[in-house]
Amino acid sequence: MSDVSYVRTEMLPEKAPPVGQQGLIKWFRENMFSSIPNSILSILAIWAIYAVLSHILPWVFQSSWNASSLTECRANIVAEYGEGATGACWAVVNERFPQLIYGFYPQELRWRLDLAFVGMLVALAPVLFDKLPKKMLWFTAVYPFLAFWLLWGGSIWLPVSIIAGFVLGVVAFKVIGKMFGSLAGMVSVAFVPIIWWLLFAGGAADIAQSIIPLSIQSVPSSQFGGLSLSIIIGVTGIAFSLPIGIVLALGRQSDLMIVKVLCVGFIEFIRGVPLITLLFVASTLLNYFMPPGTNFDIILRVIIMVTLFSAAYMAEVIRGGLAALPKGQYEGADSLGLDFWQATRLVIMPQALKISIPNIVSSFIGLFKDTTLVSIIGLLDPLGLSTNIRADQNWNGIIWELYGFVAVMFFIFCFSMSRYSMYLERKLQTGH
Amino acid sequence: MSATAEPEKGGFRLSQLIYDTRYRSMTIQIIALIGFLLSVGWLIRNAGQNLAELGKPLGFGFLTEQAGYDINQRLIEYNSQMTHGRAAVIGLLNTLLVAFLGCITATVIGVSIGVLRLSKNWIVSRLMTLYIEMFRNVPVLLWIIITMAIFIEVFPQPRDFRGEDAIATMKLFDSIAITNRGILIPALAYGPGIVLVFITFVLSLIGIVFFRRYAKKLQEETGKILPSGLISTGIFFVPTLVVFFAATMINLNKEHVVFGAKTLTLNADNSISADSGIRFCDTGGAGNVNAKNLMRANGIKFKSVPSYDLADSLTRMSSGNTRTGCDIATVPSGTALPEGLFVSEGISLYSGRPIELEKPYLSGFNFTDGVLMRNSLIALWFALSLYTAAFIAETVRSGIQAVSKGQTEAAGALGLRPGRITSLVVLPQALRVIIPPMISQYLNLTKNSSLAIAVGYMDITGTLGGITLNQTGREMESLIILMAIYLAISLTISTIMNQYNERVKLRER
Amino acid sequence: MKKSVFIGTLAAVSVTAGMAAASTLDDVKAAGELKCGVSTGLVGFAAADANGVYHGFDVAVCRAVAAAVLGDGDKVKFVPTTGKTRFTALASGEVDMLARNTTWTFSRDVDLKFEFIGVNYYDGQGFMVPKALGVASAKDLDGATVCIQTGTTTELNLADYFRSNNISYEPVPIETNAEGQAQYLSGACDVYTTDASGLAATRATFEKPDDHVVLPEIISKEPLGPLVRHGDNQWGDIIRWTLNALITAEELGVTSANIDKMSMEAGNNPEINRLLGTEGDLGGMLGLDKEWAKRAVAQSGNYGEIFDSNIGEGSPVGIARGLNASWTDGGLLYTPPFR
């Protein structure tokens, strides 16, 4: 009749995609078996994972947690899993766990280490998360002295008199700066506190102590050890190296030739030698450079060398921050009529430091890992303690459990810090 | 006060040193310099005083004293009778060796992992991420110790290779032995014709360079692209192999004979026997290898005594020393021999191919012959490479990601194939981002090699900064030299690499 | 006492007073503790337990000195030192005495300016090999791989011994005893060489000690003893005579069990009386009180008791007295009389 044309008036129902194009299979095809080389890679990867896990997992879980010696441990495992079974002897970690964390710090005083650690987190919080109230920075400023007092104990007046040096410095800056100009102010900041510390601080602390005795039991450095020692060395190193690093970075960028040469020389020297040689200097030489008769203990010497070491790296990190700052900031500060120190203090440094935080965190991770080197000069960090524990008659011959535990401990710390620094980097990326 | 009431023209007032910007910087610098010199002087004075009190004034004479200790890995001649200075040099060479090997492998592993991490393959990229995080977040010292422990605990000891029902066997046609003391690989022994083979090889290398230039010129002029990779490979292998086989054929006519104060005896059943405890002058070379193989095949127990050449062997034969002397040696047949020495009758040896492999052989406590790569070297090398590779991988990844996607797309629009896009567009640009951090990774690896003492690898820290320091008690001098050496190495590496960086850097116009 | 504070901040931590002129004894008394350098860990000689308390043969000497000087054997600060750091630690005053297995040699005594105050253990360098190797003498070790601890005299002895005997060997330097043990047990070296006491101690901790033998050759003399800095003779005397008191106490039959009874009143043996302070005033001559030796012996017993409980045959280490027996039993321990 009429022309027969077929026009579909309703939509067909959606068909299910072919089997190969949906669900898990599709995912596998796209992500693991998209081409022949890819498939080979995937199979190799799966095989590698299997090979490693099949060796490690039984060992990890076929284990004994409660034993007082390696022989007892082995007997336990054989009793539980049958003749010839081998497994991890986590009992050593179980028994020595407090030691691996706190070292030989007196048991009844370990809360002080805990408190210092919590305090450190609180002190760091306002630096790391900018949503917190700025008032907390005051705690951050006081914290190092508080921590020092908590860790080593003794009279509280010593840290207080050291703080007094800083306060005097600020006062001197305000007063002398007003009277003789900002340069004189800067000079007085450098000299007044040093004079105070050298000549008066010790005496003032003694006097204050005799008037109002306020002290807690002191703990000698030789009782520090384990993970807490690593953290102490790492954190102190980074904290002290920050101001030195800032000075070095400014010095390196300075137009003053001699200052620049000195700074570059120092930075390149420290960066050119391995940390272990500096630690050898700490353990064998540092006392030679002091006036005859002075003697500091090894942990302090190590902290000094570690600080110098990380200051050189810190200087480079901050130099990077300074370089990343747009030129307009420098010019803007100049156009406001700020002099060099004002510009640096009020405009440049706050911004440069902020963009440097991710790199500071990474250099802290590096330093924290490097604290294991102190085991080579006989300090009892987790690695050094492992050697010591293996010298105990009960645990002689144990290898993997201790190394494994120490590795996991470091991994947890460093990994979480590196994640944090990545988060920060993303947050600071405001460019695009 | 009155004098300063009026400014004097051209006059100079002391206060200008602080308030006049022209002089102020000078003042600050001079004060800084004086402060620096004063503190350095103070430190040196203290050190001098302290050292004098201990009765050991600064002096480097100990470097010429006898060291007295042995070093297992030595790239140049050394024994315990030599000086501390020599021991330090041995250590330095070992440091450089492990740093060099480490940098190469770290680059290879790091680049592969960095690229694989960007792979679309889910499991592979996850695995690579795991690798990177695992190595970056655990101290390198721990990795070195763990690698060494794995090496020692997992691989078989030489004893396990012994006997009928040996637990372990040698790999790759009995040429490689993997033990927990190290990995033994065959050594190269040279026979007649090696000079010819070597010259051919060098010539083909030069040929490749010329071919590449020609190919480039051809492409620029005509646009024709030669399969240069294939042809280069051909030039690399073919001429050398041809000469090698030709020399082998010619060598079939050449023979070595065994001679010496003692002889090997050919028995009626074609087997060979000799006095027990015979000492063999090992001058190296393919003929020697065949002689040793012959003796071993016949179950003759002998001891190899290294010797430089024929003249040296003859002196050793006449010396009669039980340690350095020897009894028999090999020479090409027809060589004139002094009187009183006998040639073993009826025994002649094939002089060997231009290059023979000298396989490791288990005798006594250890494998002999072959090249031993010690466990300490391998553990340190591997741990440093794997650790540094994790950092390099991150560098490579960020370098590749830094190349804007537009570049790849534009290259695609020009009609380039994916392989060429990578090699001609992406990599050259990524390289500029990658190289500066790579330099610092190389420096780190070199400096980390000082952790060798944890596994007993005798690098410069182990010899000069370790045993020498201990035995002589010269901490100050040893550490000064040690630091100076590391500083020199670091500065050299960074200078070289920075120059390279200058070359590949983007020229800004 | 002249107190020089070095840059205030650091002062507090531990910059101790610089006193070039004052005596070590006064320092120790003022500080209320003895700083004693020990090894970083050697089974039976010095190792810390789970509570951080040090035990061992060398440790006991430190405790005896602390008991004699300060009246309390627990007032010791143990400073772990490595082969590399031990001499610097002593020279710089970081420790007051070094009680670590340190061999008394000419150059250490004369050149490095230390004073060895006696011998508390007569040792010698030996070799341990697995029985399976079938080695009966060190002269059979041609071509062997030998594990040695670095930073000690052993590596020099070893080089000398093998060279003079025309034997070749491959040295494997190791940092710590634990590491050497791991390498030896897994067969990465054929031979482990160190002081015979160390070998015995190490062997004792093996799963199957009987599979290993210590070879008969002792290739060196290794008199081990505590040492102090040159120049402070009073301090040297105190440690020397404390050690002698421990040895003499064993010789005279004074033990930690009977010492209280013996020191109640003067007995028949005048030397015991002089030792325990019930007769004469030997302590006063040293600058100590009368009962110094009594406290030293009471702390962890006489030499024999210390030996037995830490490294003797009753302990897991299981070393026989051998040369370290009293001269009355055919050993080398022979002290000058207390008179």
What element of type H or E holds A167? helix A157-180
In sequence order, which residues have a C-beta less than 8 Å from that of residue B461 and are 6 or more positions away? Answer: A274, A276, A277, B91, B95, B450, B452, B453, B482
Taking an 8 Å cut-off on Cβ atoms, the answer to whether B475 and A372 are in contact is: no
Describe chain A by its helix, strand, coil percentages, rounded to 5: 75, 0, 20
Mean pLDDT, residues B175-185 taken together: 86
Mean pLDDT, residues C192-208 taken together: 83
Give contacts of C76 with chain A, Cβ < 8 Å. Answer: none
Q: Within 10 Å of residue A385's Cβ, how many Cβ atoms?
A: 26
CA distances to B111, B477, B478 from C114, rounded to whole Å, are 55, 20, 21
Split at pLDDT 50, 70, 90, the class of B1 is very low
Three-class secondary structure assignment of chain C: CCCCCCCHHHHHHHCCCCCCCCCHHHHHHHHCCEEEEEECCECCCEEECCCCCEECHHHHHHHHHHHHHHCCCCCEEEEEECCCCHHHHHHCCCCCEECCCCECCHHHHHCCCEEECCCCEEECEEEEEEHHHCCCCHHHCCCEEEEEECCCCHHHHHHHHHHHCCCCEEEEEECCHHHHHHHHHCCCCCEEEEEHHHHHHHHHCCCCHHHEEECCCCCCCEEECCEEECCCHHHHHHHHHHHHHHHHHHHHCCCCCCHHHHCCCCCCCHHHHHHHCCCCCHHHHHCCCCCHHHHHHHHHCCHHHHHHHHCCCCCCCCCCCHHHCEHHHCCCECCCCCC
Residue C22 has pLDDT above 70, yes or no: no
Measured in whole angstroms, how far is the alpha carbon of residue B112 from the centre of its chain? 22
Mean pLDDT, residues C93-119 taken together: 86
Supply the pLDDT for residue C18: 38
B265 — phi, psi (to 5°)? -110, 130
In sequence order, which residues have a C-beta less than 8 Å from that of residue B53 and are 6 or more positions away? Answer: A292
Please tell me the distance from the alpha carbon of residue B162 to that of residue C187, in angstroms, as a whole number: 14
Subunits with 3+ Cβ pairs within 8 Å of C are A, B
What is the Rg, in whole angstroms, of the alpha carbon atoms belonging to chain B? 32
- Measure CA of the first residue to CA of the last residue in chain A; give whole Å: 67
Split at pLDDT 50, 70, 90, the class of C140 is confident
CA proximity to A363, closest of A273, A248, A426, A271: A271
Tokens 């109002």, residue located: A212
Residues in chain C: 339
A359 touches chain C (CB under 8 A): no
Give the pairing of strands B255-260 and B187-190: unpaired
Residue B8 has pLDDT above 70, yes or no: no
Mean pLDDT, residues C75-91 taken together: 84
Least confident of A201-215, B140-154, B475-489: A201-215
Please tell me the distance from the alpha carbon of residue A357 to that of residue A129, in angstroms, as a whole number: 11
Q: Do the beta carbons of residue A119 and residue A147 sit within 8 Å?
A: yes
CATH placement of domain C24-122+224-329 = 3.40.190.10
Split at pLDDT 50, 70, 90, the class of B11 is low
Least confident of B92-101, B290-299, C218-227: B290-299
Residue A426, burial from CB neighbour count under 10 angstroms (0-12, 13-18, 19+): exposed
Supply the pLDDT for residue B128: 92
Mean pLDDT, residues B489-498 taken together: 88
In sequence order, which residues have a C-beta less than 8 Å from that of residue B337 and are 6 or more positions away? Answer: B259, B331, B343
According to DSSP, residue A256 is labeled -
Tokens 């931590």, residue located: C13
Give contacts of C41 with chain A, Cβ < 8 Å. Answer: 387-388, 390-392
Please tell me the distance from the alpha carbon of residue B136 to that of residue B388, in angstroms, as a whole number: 8
C234 — phi, psi (to 5°)? -65, -45
DSSP A306-335: HHHHHHHHHHHHHHHHHHHS-HHHHHHHHH
B158, B163, B164, B168 alpha-carbon torsion, rounded to 10°: -10
Q: Do the beta carbons of residue B113 and residue B389 sit within 8 Å?
A: yes
Supply the pLDDT for residue B380: 94
Please tell me the distance from the alpha carbon of residue C155 to that of residue C149, in angstroms, as a whole number: 7
Which domains are assigned to chain A? 37-89 (no CATH), 96-105+222-428 (1.10.3720.10), 155-216 (no CATH)
CA distances to B191, B243, C94, C195 from B248, rounded to whole Å, are 9, 8, 70, 55
ipTM of the complex: 0.87
Mean pLDDT, residues A4-31 taken together: 80
Supply the pLDDT for residue A2: 61
Please tell me the distance from the alpha carbon of residue B26 to that of residue A312, in angstroms, as a whole number: 25
Task: List pLDDT tens digits, range B440-468.
Answer: 899 999 999 999 988 889 999 989 988 89
SS3 B353: coil
Give contacts of B147 with chain C, Cβ < 8 Å. Answer: none
| Percent of chain A surpassing pLDDT 90 | 20
Residue A79 has pLDDT above 60, yes or no: yes
Q: Within 10 Å of residue A350's Cβ, how many Cβ atoms?
A: 10
CATH placement of domain C125-220 = 3.40.190.10
Supply the pLDDT for residue A318: 92
SS3 A217: coil
- Measure CA of the first residue to CA of the last residue in chain C; give whole Å: 34
Chain B residues touching chain C at CB-CB below 8 Å: 54-56, 68-72, 80-81, 149, 152-153, 156-160, 180-181, 322-323, 363-366, 368, 375-376, 453-454, 456, 458, 462, 466-467, 469-471, 473, 475
Mean of the per-residue pLDDT values of chain B = 84
Residue B123 has pLDDT above 80, yes or no: yes
Optimal mutation site among C16, C74, C149, C205, interface A, most CBs of chain A within 10 A: C205
Residue B221, burial from CB neighbour count under 10 angstroms (0-12, 13-18, 19+): exposed
Residue A264 has pLDDT above 80, yes or no: yes
What is the Rg, in whole angstroms, of the alpha carbon atoms belonging to chain A? 30
Supply the pLDDT for residue C12: 38
Closest residue on chain C to B475 (Cα): C88
CA–CA min distance A223, chain C (Å):
8
Supply the pLDDT for residue C20: 41
Subunits with 3+ Cβ pairs within 8 Å of A are B, C
Optimal mutation site among C115, C160, C162, C190, interface B, most CBs of chain B within 10 A: C190
Which comes out higher in pLDDT, residue B455 or C50?
B455
Closest residue on chain A to C203 (Cα): A396
Taking an 8 Å cut-off on Cβ atoms, the answer to whether A165 and C85 are in contact is: no
Residue C139 has pLDDT above 80, yes or no: yes
Q: Within 10 Å of residue C219's Cβ, how many Cβ atoms?
A: 20
Q: Do the beta carbons of residue A389 and residue A402 sit within 8 Å?
A: yes
Sequence letter at residue B215 = A
Supply the pLDDT for residue A3: 66
- In B274-375, at which residue ranges do the beta strands (DSSP E only) sit? 278-282, 302-306, 328-332, 342-350, 355-358, 361-363, 366-368, 371-374
SS3 B305: strand
Joined tokens for residue B292: 């040793």
B243 — phi, psi (to 5°)? -65, -40
Split at pLDDT 50, 70, 90, the class of B26 is confident
Residue B336 has pLDDT above 80, yes or no: no
CA proximity to C295, closest of C6, C67, C47: C67
Mean pLDDT, residues C268-284 taken together: 86
Residue C17 has pLDDT above 60, yes or no: no
Give contacts of C150 with chain B, Cβ < 8 Å. Answer: 453, 456, 462, 466-467, 470
| Percent of chain C surpassing pLDDT 90 | 18
Domain spans, chain C: 24-122+224-329, 125-220
Q: Do the beta carbons of residue C306 and residue C300 sit within 8 Å?
A: yes
Give the pairing of strands C54-55 and C47-48: antiparallel
SS3 B357: strand
Give contacts of B33 with chain A, Cβ < 8 Å. Answer: 258, 262
Taking an 8 Å cut-off on Cβ atoms, the answer to whether B461 and A42 are in contact is: no
**Cα–Cα–Cα angle for B220, B221, B222, nearest 5°?**
105
Split at pLDDT 50, 70, 90, the class of B2 is very low
Residue A292 has pLDDT above 80, yes or no: no
Joined tokens for residue B462: 């182990």
B169 — phi, psi (to 5°)? -130, 160
Q: Do the beta carbons of residue C242 and residue C64 sit within 8 Å?
A: yes
Split at pLDDT 50, 70, 90, the class of B395 is very high
Least confident of A24-33, B100-109, B175-184, C265-274: A24-33
Closest residue on chain A to C80 (Cα): A378
SS3 A39: helix
What angle, 0 to 180 degrees and rounded to 10, lies between the N-to-C axes of helices A257-272 and A298-324?
Answer: 120
Which comes out higher in pLDDT, residue B428 or B209?
B209
Task: List pLDDT tens digits, range A160-195.
Answer: 888 888 888 888 877 877 777 666 777 777 777 788
Q: Do the beta carbons of residue A408 and residue A60 sit within 8 Å?
A: no
Helices (H) and strands (E) in chain B, counts: 16, 14
According to DSSP, residue B451 is labeled G
Residue B328 has pLDDT above 60, yes or no: yes
Taking an 8 Å cut-off on Cβ atoms, the answer to whether C159 and B323 are in contact is: no
| Residues 116 through 145 of chain A touching chain C, CB cutoff 8 Å | none
Split at pLDDT 50, 70, 90, the class of A140 is confident
In sequence order, which residues have a C-beta less than 8 Å from that of residue A349 and are 6 or more positions away? Answer: A246
SS3 B363: strand
Task: List pLDDT tens digits, range A87-131.
Answer: 888 988 888 898 899 988 888 888 998 999 999 888 888 877 777
Q: Do the beta carbons of residue B29 and residue A258 sit within 8 Å?
A: yes
Supply the pLDDT for residue A182: 63
Split at pLDDT 50, 70, 90, the class of A431 is low
Taking an 8 Å cut-off on Cβ atoms, the answer to whether C171 and B153 are in contact is: no
Domains C24-122+224-329 and C125-220 share a fold: yes
Strand partners, C228: C115
Taking an 8 Å cut-off on Cβ atoms, the answer to whether C14 and A99 are in contact is: no
